[in-house]
Amino acid sequence: MLRSQMSLAVTALLIQLGMAANYTVGGPNGGWDTSSNLQAWASAQTFIVGDNLIFQFTPNHDVLEVSKADYNTCSTSNPTQTYSSSPAVIPLSSPGKRCFICGMAGHCSQGMKIELDTLASSSPPSASPSSPPTSSPASPVTPPTSSPSSPVTPPTSSPASPVTAPTSPPPLEMTPPPKSTPTISPASLSTTPTSSPAPSSDVPSAEPPTSSPSPSPSSAHKGSFEASLIMGFGLMMTILLAL
């Protein structure tokens, strides 16, 4: 059991050493000096545990590893490590942030400083293989069954009833009214008063003779009007009966 654990540890160390990379600070076109853009170089790299930093510099430079606070203020009074000979090889043995500056006066403020982040492993997390979604077999599409169309029966037209011509009513027979013969009542003739005979001249009368009264002209005119009215009415009735 112990032997197997030791063999696994040795194998992991060999793999890690085989995957380790050496980074020349500021390279390949620059170096550890004031003319190189060291911050841009550091941000463009990916560092993992097992990699090595290589500082190459001239005798007027050195390398100090400092804290984050001293890195921000370019303080050289309390470094954690000092490297004064070139080339300086610094292994990245643990994950985390590390800060390096130049200890010469004014060089840190001129850009000779880098901050880097060391990752624990470079291999991306293994993604669990995703099983492709199983597609359910498509159910066969059954075409819609069209119901047989019922025969269309034409509408039965009812026989036209014969048109009966309107019957004119029979002509009315005009029956003339019965002729009635008007009965004309005879007009009462007005009698003229007769005068009593004159007494004989032979017989003398003791009294003087009396004369009878003469008829009035109004009664004679009335009688003639009634006669003409009756005759006119009779003539009119005769004309009506003749039509």
Q: What is the pLDDT of residues 150-187, one digit of tens each?
A: 555 555 555 555 555 555 555 555 555 555 544 444 44
Residues 116 and 45 sit within 8 Å (Cβ to Cβ): yes
Q: What is the pLDDT of residues 7-43, one digit of tens each?
A: 555 455 445 544 689 999 998 888 999 999 999 999 9
- Residue 230 is predicted with a pLDDT of 86
d(CA 33, CA 111): 8
139 vs 63, more confident: 63
11 vs 81, more confident: 81
- Residue 243 is predicted with a pLDDT of 74
Q: Which of 57-61, 152-156, 215-219, 238-242 has the highest mean pLDDT?
A: 57-61
Strand residues in the chain grouped as ranges (E): 22-24, 47-48, 52-55, 63-66, 81-83, 88-91, 96-101, 113-119
* Residue 213 pLDDT greater than 90, yes or no: no
137 vs 30, more confident: 30
- Residue 200 is predicted with a pLDDT of 43
Give the pTM: 0.46
- Residue 158 is predicted with a pLDDT of 53
Contacts 24+ apart (CB under 8 A), 117-122: 117/47, 118/47, 118/48, 118/49, 118/51, 118/92, 118/94, 119/46, 119/47, 119/48, 119/49, 119/95, 120/48, 120/49, 120/95, 121/48, 121/49, 122/19, 122/46, 122/48
For the chain, counts of helices (H) and of strands (E): 4, 8
Cα end-to-end span (Å), the chain: 163
Q: What angle do CA 140, 145, 147 make, to 5 degrees?
A: 170
